[in-house]
Amino acid sequence: MANFIRNQFGRLDILVNNAGVLGSGVKAEDRKNFRYSVEDITGPNAVSQKKFVNQTYEITVSCLRTNYYGTKHLTEALIPILEQSSSARIVNVSSTLGKLKFIPNEKAKKELGDVDGLTEEKVEKLVEDFLEDVKNDLVETKHWPPLFSAYIVSKAALNAYTRMLAKKYPKIATNAVCPGYTSTDINDSTGIFTVEEAARGPVMLAVMPDHQRPSGCFFFQTEMSTF
């Protein structure tokens, strides 16, 4: 892909990383009982909702490969041609669930929130430790999120990677954005926002005028938020 874009166009102006999977499967017979709201996934109801969800090691690996590693590897391949643009943008479609406040593991929260000390090696190690804990059935013992842990950790890692990219490549405006609770197949069409409404944030960041463009920030739809 990188060679094709380079040969055909010479540069890349905008990269939107939108691919994502949930990393957990709600059992078909329980979908009518499951609640997808942030409060139900991260609050007191999270543990009681676990019985409705399949959260295996294999599904977790697939989620991290798509949501974090896939985005990271594609972005790294395209950075050289993004640098050929005078107004390059990277938009990482993330989630509110990836906010640090939803990571109960204090060590992970501290490392992901240390923007000045963030390194790819630290994030990679954190993701590897999480996968090892999933493999050994230590998710709750090690204080990872009990519900949708793969999705939450993958988006938290993506947010950290966004901040690292913004710092490493200051000429490329790099931001993360949560499109909101959107009605799609990933949540059995229970979302409150349409696809068109959800697209406003990513599109805004992709085409924002140069003199206004932020970098290293997190947005909820079109409003700047916190990591």
Neighbouring CB atoms inside 10 A of 222's CB total 12
| Beta carbons of 180 and 138 less than 8 angstroms apart | no
Q: Catalytic residue among 151, 161, 169, 181, which? A: 151
Q: Is there a catalytic annotation at residue 151?
A: yes
Beta strands in the chain (DSSP E): 14-17, 25-26, 53-54, 89-93, 173-178, 217-220, 223-225
- Distance CA(42)–CA(49), nearest Å, equals 10
Cα distances (angstroms) measured from residue 35 to each of 51, 95, 187? 12, 17, 9
| Beta carbons of 97 and 21 less than 8 angstroms apart | no
Residues with a catalytic annotation lie at 151
